[in-house]
Amino acid sequence: MVQINNDVAIIICGHGSRNTNYKASLVKLTNELKVRFKSKNFFYCFIEIDSPLIEECLNSLIKNYKRIYFFPLFIFDGKHYKIDIHHTLSKYKNYRKIVLIDKISLLKDILPIFSSILKDQLEKGKEYYLITSCSPSNDEEVKQQLLRYTKLLSQNLGLSYYDQHFVGQESSSVSKVERIISPNGYVILHPIFFFDGFLSKKNVLFFEKIFKKNILILKPLVFYKKVKDAIEIKLLRNFEVFE
């Protein structure tokens, strides 16, 4: 494994959630990265709700490190990623040592991973209906990204039926499924969240109550080793400090 210089810090940034499991998962991931890269210089922060917030984290590190790499664990190009993070980091524009790492790509990184994972789980002869979900957004780009991902994933799996929705719009997907799928059919629920937060849990509970045993529910992204591997690869490709 490569060596990280002592004067470099790496911040992993999550959204934050009212579900305590969210913060626990981000802390766990940060600690795993410390072990994996044999470095204590990994830190975590949140955009809202949980602490430390981005500015709190940066303020505690800015004077002590020569360079700080900021890695946002977001999937979609929503307001938090396109505006909030950049706005906060712009307050430190006089500190050229802060480097923003591009987020994980939904299509280039996540799509191949879950195409492979689901191909290993689906049984021949069974009818499946793929449903994806993500956090609500007023950004049309997020809606289009979710639609494109869902369509491509269904094509990769050879599935004829699929739908997508924002959390809070579950009923729309359920009504479509119930019109098409047979009593012996299965729903594949794929909530696209890095961690097990309030919204992802709400989404899962809604579908569990309706489809009971006829549903395959995928876990949040960070629960899969291949996703963690993708995070490590992204870090390795961006850090100039690795030798």
pLDDT digits (tens, 9 = 90+) for 163-193: 999 999 999 999 999 998 888 899 999 999 9
- Determine, yes or no, domain membership for 3: no
Share of the chain above pLDDT 90, in %: 61
The neighbouring-strand residues paired with 98 are 68
Residue 241, pLDDT score: 44
Q: Does some domain include residue 216?
A: yes
- The answer to whether 26 and 14 are in contact (CB under 8 A) is yes
One domain for residues 154 and 65 = no
Considering the domain boundaries, does residue 53 fall inside one? yes
Nearest residue to 177 via CA among 210, 129, 125: 129
Residue-level pLDDT at 94? 67
130 and 98 share one domain: no
Residue 28 sits in the same domain as residue 59: yes
Look at 57 and 85; give whichever has higher pLDDT. 57
Out of 85-99, 167-181, 191-205, least confident range: 85-99
CATH number of the domain enclosing 21? 3.40.50.1400
Do 216 and 114 fall within a single domain? yes
Q: How many domains does the chain have?
A: 2
Domain membership of residue 69 as a residue range: 8-104+224-238
In-domain check, residue 162 = yes
pTM: 0.90
- Residue 243: the pLDDT is 41
Angle, CA of 64, 67 and 68, to the nearest 5°: 90
Whether residue 90 sits in one domain with residue 193:
no
